Structure 1
C-alpha cells in the first residue's frame, strides 16, 4: 500500500513539473520613453528710452516688435540698382523713434502697421548715392545733406497685420506724377490708403513732400546736424 502511495505521489510530482515547464511566462519589454529636449527661446526684451537723449541714434527694432522692414538700399532692388548699405538696419534719432512708435499704435488700431524702406542714412552713404545719380531731383546733394542724414526722415508704406502691402499706386522710389500726393486721378482705394498714411503721420509730427507718397520728415528733426554715424553689421 505504501509503495502504491509513493508511486502516485511521484507521478503527481513529475506531472506538475511538466506542466510548469510547458507554461510560457510572458515577460513584457520595458517601455522606453524618449525624452526630447525642448529649447524654449527666451522672450525678446525690448529696450527702454529712459535716460537716452532725443538726438541719440537707436536701432528701432530694439524698441518695438511691431514694424515690418524691406530696406531697399541694402539690396539692388532700388532706383540706383546698387547696394549702398553693408547690411539692412533701421536707425533713427530717439525722438523720431518715439514718434514712429506712437504713429504705429494708431495704424495698428486700424488694422495696419508701418513698413520701412529707408530710415537714417549716414552721410557717407549719401555720397555713394550721389556718385551713382548726381541729380538733386532724385538724390540730395551730400554737401548739404538731407533729413535722412539727420535721422529724422523715413521712407515707408503700410501693410496689413498679415504683412501684405496696402496698394499705394506705385512702388517705392517711383519718380513720376503717379506718386504725387496731389494726383487724385487714382482708384479710391489707393487714395484712401495714402490718406490714412499721410493723416496719421502728420498727426504725430511728420510732414510729407508733394512728389513722394512714401517720404516723411519729423518736424522736430529739421534743425539737427547731418551725421555720419555707422552701425555695426556684426551685431
Structure 2
C-alpha cells in the first residue's frame, strides 16, 4: 500500500512539474521584422500601424518619451511620433470630431510603444505597478493603447485632471477620491467619450486607454523610424 501511494505521489508531482515547465517554456512572440509586419498587414489590414497625426491633423501631440521630460529622465524615442492600429485611430478620429464640436480636443502622450522600450521601463521603474511586465508585453506594444488627455481648443491648455501624466501615485487611479468637482467632471467626461468608441480606461492610470479586442493584435518591436 505504501509503495502504491509513493508511486501515485511521484506521478502527481511529475505531472505538476511537467505542466509548470510547459507554461514557463512558453515563449513570448514578438514581431521585430518589418517585412513580417508588412506581411501581417496584407493578411489583415487592421494590423496597420497608422500615424495618428497624419490621420487626424488637428490632434495635439506631446510625446514625452521623445524628450527627457518623463519618469525615465532620458530620451526613449528617436522621433516624436505616435502610432496605433488602424481601428484604434479610426476611433480616435471619431472622438476628436465629437470633442471639437464641444470646443475640446485630444492631446496624445503616447501610442504604440516598441517592445524594447517596455523592457527598459521595467528594469528602471521602482514601482512595477505602473509599468508592464515584459514577460507578458504591453497593450502599447500591440498598438492598442493610448495615453492622452483633453485640451481646450481656444486656449490649447489641458483640462485639469487628478495628476500630471505618468504620475506614479494613488491619485492617478481612474476612480481616485477625493478630487475637486471640476477634476471629477473632466475625468468622467474623458472616460465616457473614450468608452463610447471602444477605449477603456486602465484602473490605475486615468490617462491610459486600451482598445477593446487588443488580444487579437501581436506584440511589436518595430522602431518608429521604419514605420
TM class by smaller structure? 0.7 to 0.9
The alignment status of 1:199 with 2:192, answered yes or no, reads yes
Aligned mates of 2:205, 2:116 — CA distance in 1: 23
Q: CA deviation at 1:207?
A: 0.8
| Higher-RCO chain (CA-CA 8 Å, sequence separation at least 6) | 2
Q: Check whether the contact 2:79–2:224 (CA below 8 A) recurs between aligned residues.
A: no
Q: CA deviation at 1:79?
A: 1.4
The alignment status of 1:216 with 2:209, answered yes or no, reads yes
Measured against aligned partners, the alpha-carbon deviations of 1:89-110 in whole angstroms (never above 9, x if no partner) come to 0011111110111111111122
Q: Name the residue aligned to 2:37.
A: none
Q: Name the residue aligned to 1:181.
A: 174
Aligned mates of 2:202, 2:121 — CA distance in 1: 20
Aligned mates of 1:133, 1:176 — CA distance in 2: 13
Gaps of 5+ in 2: 1-43
Q: Check whether the contact 1:209–1:215 (CA below 8 A) recurs between aligned residues.
A: yes
Gaps of 5+ in 1: 1-51
What TM-score does the superposition give when structure 2 sets the normalisation length? 0.76
Counterpart selection for 1:68 from 60, 74, 89: 60
Q: Greater CA radius of gyration, 1 or 2?
A: 1
Q: CA deviation at 1:135?
A: 5.0
- With over 3 angstroms needed to count, the CA separation of the structure-2 counterparts of 1:135 and 1:167, relative to structure 1, is closer
Moved over 4 A (4+): none
Counterpart selection for 1:132 from 109, 124, 132: 124
The alignment status of 1:58 with 2:50, answered yes or no, reads yes
Measured against aligned partners, the alpha-carbon deviations of 1:22-78 in whole angstroms (never above 9, x if no partner) come to xxxxxxxxxxxxxxxxxxxxxxxxxxxxxx811111111111112101111111111
The alignment status of 1:227 with 2:220, answered yes or no, reads yes
What TM-score does the superposition give when structure 1 sets the normalisation length? 0.73
CA RMSD of aligned residues (A): 1.7
Secondary structure in 2 matching 1:222: helix
Measured against aligned partners, the alpha-carbon deviations of 1:170-219 in whole angstroms (never above 9, x if no partner) come to 10011222222222311111111101100000000011122111000001
Aligned length: 183
Aligned mates of 2:73, 2:47 — CA distance in 1: 32
